[in-house]
Amino acid sequence: MIAETGLLLLWLAAALAVLQALAGFAGLSRRGEYVAISPAARPLAVLQGLLCLAAFGCLIALFLRTDLSVLLVADNSHSAKPWLFKFAGAWGNHEGSMLLWLTILGLGSIGVALFERQLAPRIVSATLGAQAVLALGFYAFLLFASNPFARLSPAPPEGAGLNPLLQDPGLAFHPPTLYLGYVGLSVAFSFAVGAMLAGDANRAFARAMRPSVLIAWVFLTLGITAGSYWAYYELGWGGWWFWDPVENASLMPWLAATALLHSVSVTANRDGLRAWTIMLALVAFSMSMIGTFIVRSGLLTSVHSFAVDPTRGVFILVLLALYIGGALALFGARIGKVASGATFAPVSREGALVMNNLLLSVILAIVLIGTFYPIAAEALGYRLSVGPPYFNRAAGPIALGLVALLFVGPLLRWRRDRLARLPVIAWMMLAIAGVGAIALVVLVPRSAILPALGLALGGGLAIASLLPLTRRSLRRTPATTWAMVIAHFGVAVALIGMASNAAFTEERLIALRAGETTTVGPWQVELTAIDPVVGPNWTAIEGGLVARYDGGAPTTLHPQLRAFTTPPTETSEAALLTRWKGQLYAVLGQPTSEGRWQLRLWWKPFVTLIWLGGILIALGGALSLVARIGLLRRARHYVRQVMP
Amino acid sequence: MMRRVLLVALVFAAPLAAQDAVPPAEYAYRQLPDARAEAEAHALMTTLRCLVCQGQSIADSDAALAGDMRSLVRQRIAAGETPDQVRAWLVDRYGDWVSYDPPLTPATWPLWAAPIALLGLGGWLAARKLRRKRSGTGDGE
């Protein structure tokens, strides 16, 4: 019954989405005859979102009960799985993740319907209309091509299980966080469409859009950071970013959202860059859609799996073409009606933000081209791979240019400024960073240029990013300035972590007998024991390692080699020892013929700064969000008092 | 088509095969004694595609084939070949697909020219916009 209820709820939600779209666009009618209907878009949006949420709840219930008469559960779950993985398994598959996607789209609609009270009602209802049109396409996809509630008869005695690599607490948090980011951008997209349809994109529109961009960006940042750490400890080779298509798919919306976040602040504060902000809002969610669907449909990693289910692939491609093409066509037709905003001198805060947007857009384009180039080339009969060497060389220097811009950009005044006015210390830090990088390359043998530049610029930026706090009372510094400083400081921290990991990692691959000792960097590591261990749905061989830093106090690590039964797979569970100076990363490999065990050990100085930086960046975004919502409330209060 | 099926079969076979009698290649999980040669080999390995994996380099993979390729790279570097020679040898056998570092050929120059072209185009657009804005408003501040 739960499955049928879920399906019914989905159909009802889709029907409500039709009404939401009609009501939302009614407000735009020429002579205003249908305007009276348009306020209905708000309650319809709330109801539609709630029904979709309820349908998602049904799917989770089916997974928690392991109802094997449902095809999706039988294919992806198993009764012996721990409950957390049953729960998270609901979205660890294609259909379930699509339903999660729609649920978050519905939550976005609810957010706009309930909280947006400042913007002109026409734009709000047109925004809700656009949001409903987006949802409808994906409802159609779910109901006609990916029904998560399909039954299986007869029900099998046991489920097929979940990929062991996914049986990790990371699965419970990573996809929902990332999806909140991806789909959160749909709200900015809908705001942009709504504003273009209403022919009105001013500061009020940018201010209305900003909280949704911030929310999506914070979740996207956290999702990417968490995903990177998950891959780092789960894949067992110490890599934290591989430039593979799936990662690039999450990076592209993040780059677009980061650019949007900065351009929307120009529109909201200074009323400039209106058309560009609208364009970026369209691009950001388009990147989310391209990222999720093209990659998840298998088009990118393998053309082969795409052909297995042509209906789905074609459905998705048509949907993407309609939405992205439609939005761009609307942009072309309507952007002339959006009056161009305020102007500014090249040397100004706006000018620096334009540079930021330019560089971020170029990086985005490089990632996009590099990700899709192999597909285009293969279509022409040439198979090639585009990987880390290309992305690092093409995007790395531009990213470092962006970091150099961060030394001075935040210190500039709005509208017009002089470089000579900037504090000497900002230029000094930039100069020291440049000289430092050259010194590193020259003095340290066999050092690569990018990590050296990264270390020097990162170190300089850690100080320069704090400069906006000087020359004023810290207590009276606005929370939004603190937010910016924290986020930019986070960039410096992450950059130092990346560069340090690239430059100073020590590796030791060795086969040891119990009782033998090896060294990696400053650590002495002894293999003391090899023991069998039994888990809930796996068995493992566990190594006992005793590690001493420079002959100091011993600490034990327990890397495992796990064997899962359903489906039969082996994974290695790395053991990590975290010190403030870095991480010791240990992996147990296969036994050798002479009775030794393969060990892989890495000492990674300051590698944790990569993710700490990511968290700081997200924290800055969160603080900015809280401050802006608070500001909004205060302003509203003030207006009510002045104009009763 | 047939080759793809074989590759997929290899992926699934690898963890099982690893437990059987076939030991991994000599330098699959062993470093070269010479630190400089090892660093060269490692840098090269991060830029070679594991042919049976989903988008991983041979430096990041447990697949048996990745182990064989690591061993081969280390042995050739130890024998005195330069990383470029080893890469060329592999490309010769497996095609450009094996290298994550696309060569500069007529088919890839758009890829390599893209960063500079995009920077130039973006800079030109931004400069044009700024200039027009300034001349449009004059000095009315």
pLDDT for the residue numbered A622? 94
CA A591 to each of CA A438, A513, A545, A575, B135: distance values in angstroms, whole numbers, following the listed order: 45, 10, 16, 18, 74
- The reply to whether residue B47 touches residue A389, judged by beta carbons under 8 angstroms, is yes
Residue A628, domain member (yes or no): no
Mean pLDDT, residues A68-72: 86
Using 50, 70 and 90 to split pLDDT, how confident is the model at A310?
low
Highest mean pLDDT among A247-251, A451-455, A503-507, B117-121: B117-121
Query: Where among A140, A167, A194 does a domain terminate?
Result: A167
Mean pLDDT, residues A610-639: 84
Least CA distance to B101: which residue of chain A? A389
User: How far is A510 from A601, CA to CA, in rounded Å?
Assistant: 8
User: How far is A83 from A63, CA to CA, in rounded Å?
Assistant: 9
For the stretch A217-228, pLDDT in tens is 999 999 999 989
Residue A418, domain member (yes or no): no
Residue A303, domain member (yes or no): yes
For the stretch A379-431, pLDDT in tens is 888 888 998 999 998 999 999 999 999 988 888 888 888 887 788 877 888 88
Q: Which of A286, A295, A296 is nearest to A319 (CA)?
A: A286
Same domain, A470 and A527: no
- The reply to whether residue B115 touches residue A245, judged by beta carbons under 8 angstroms, is no
| pLDDT over 70 at B8, yes or no | no
Taking CB atoms and an 8 Å cutoff, what residues of chain A touch B31?
A: 507-510
Angle, CA A17 vertex, CA A14 and CA A21 arms, to 5°: 150
Structural tokens at position A335: 């952007």
Least CA distance to A564: which residue of chain B? B15
Same domain, A49 and A162: yes
User: How far is A239 from A242, CA to CA, in rounded Å?
Assistant: 7
| pLDDT over 90 at A629, yes or no | no
Same domain, A106 and A74: yes
Structural tokens at position A225: 């950071």
Mean pLDDT, residues B6-30: 55
Residue A626, domain member (yes or no): no
User: What residues have CB less than 8 Å from A500, skipping those under 6 apart?
Assistant: A451, A455, A582, A605, A606, A607, A609
> Quick one: A4 exposed, middle or buried, by C-beta within 10 A (0-12, 13-18, 19+)?
exposed
| Peptide linkage before A154 cis (omega within 30 of 0) | yes
Structural tokens at position A423: 């504090």
Cβ atoms of A116 and A205 closer than 8 Å: no
Least CA distance to A298: which residue of chain B? B54
- Return contacts of B132-138, CB within 8 angstroms, 24+ apart: B133/A343, B133/A344, B134/A343, B134/A345, B134/A346, B136/A343, B137/A343
Residue A629, domain member (yes or no): no
Least CA distance to A341: which residue of chain B? B133
For the ranges A287-291, A363-367, A563-567, which has the lowest average pLDDT?
Answer: A563-567
| pLDDT over 70 at B18, yes or no | no
pLDDT for the residue numbered A51? 95
Q: Which of A259, A275, A279, A255 is nearest to A267 (CA)?
A: A275
Least CA distance to A445: which residue of chain B? B36
pLDDT for the residue numbered A420? 79
Residues 479-538 of A with CB under 8 A from B: 507-511
Residue A415, domain member (yes or no): no
| Average pLDDT score over chain A | 86
For the stretch B32-82, pLDDT in tens is 888 888 888 998 999 999 888 777 888 888 888 888 899 999 999 999 899
Count of domains observed in chain A: 4
Give A589→chain B minimum CA distance, Å.
Answer: 9
Strand partners, A519: A524
| pLDDT over 60 at B134, yes or no | no
Give B55→chain A minimum CA distance, Å.
Answer: 6
User: How far is A479 from A487, CA to CA, in rounded Å?
Assistant: 12
- The reply to whether residue B114 touches residue A369, judged by beta carbons under 8 angstroms, is yes
The answer, for A606 touching chain B at a CB cutoff of 8 Å, is no
Least CA distance to A601: which residue of chain B? B29
Same domain, A248 and A381: yes
Cβ atoms of A155 and A321 closer than 8 Å: no
Residue A513, domain member (yes or no): yes
User: How far is A137 from A602, CA to CA, in rounded Å?
Assistant: 48
For the ranges A292-296, A341-345, B17-21, B107-111, which has the lowest average pLDDT?
Answer: B17-21
- The reply to whether residue A377 touches residue B130, judged by beta carbons under 8 angstroms, is no
Residue A260 belongs to what domain range?
A: 174-408
Same domain, A435 and A348: no
ipTM of this predicted structure: 0.81
Taking CB atoms and an 8 Å cutoff, what residues of chain B touch A344?
A: 133
Query: Where among A123, A146, A167 does a domain terminate?
Result: A167
For the stretch A37-57, pLDDT in tens is 778 889 999 999 999 999 999
Taking CB atoms and an 8 Å cutoff, what residues of chain B touch A369?
A: 111, 114
Same domain, A67 and A137: yes
Mean pLDDT, residues A51-70: 92
pLDDT for the residue numbered A303? 40
| pLDDT over 70 at A454, yes or no | yes
- The reply to whether residue A387 touches residue B49, judged by beta carbons under 8 angstroms, is yes
Give A205→chain B minimum CA distance, Å.
Answer: 22
The answer, for A351 touching chain B at a CB cutoff of 8 Å, is yes
Taking CB atoms and an 8 Å cutoff, what residues of chain A touch B95?
A: 383-384
Query: Where among A105, A134, A167 does a domain terminate?
Result: A167
Candidates A301, A367, A385, partner chain B, best to mutate (most B CBs within 10 A) = A385
Candidates A302, A390, A415, partner chain B, best to mutate (most B CBs within 10 A) = A390
Residues 436-455 of A with CB under 8 A from B: 446
Strand partners, A578: A583
Candidates B6, B100, B139, partner chain A, best to mutate (most A CBs within 10 A) = B100
For the stretch A131-172, pLDDT in tens is 999 999 999 989 988 888 988 878 787 777 766 666 777 777
For the stretch B98-126, pLDDT in tens is 999 998 888 888 999 999 999 999 989 88
Residue with tokens 């960063």: B115
Same domain, A371 and A428: no
DSSP-assigned states of every residue in A36-103: GGGGGHHHHHHHHHHHHHHHHHHHHHHHHHT-TTBHHHHHH--TTS-HHHHHHHTTSSHHHHHHHHHH
> Quick one: A500 exposed, middle or buried, by C-beta within 10 A (0-12, 13-18, 19+)?
buried
| A to B CB pairs, distance under 8 Å | 130
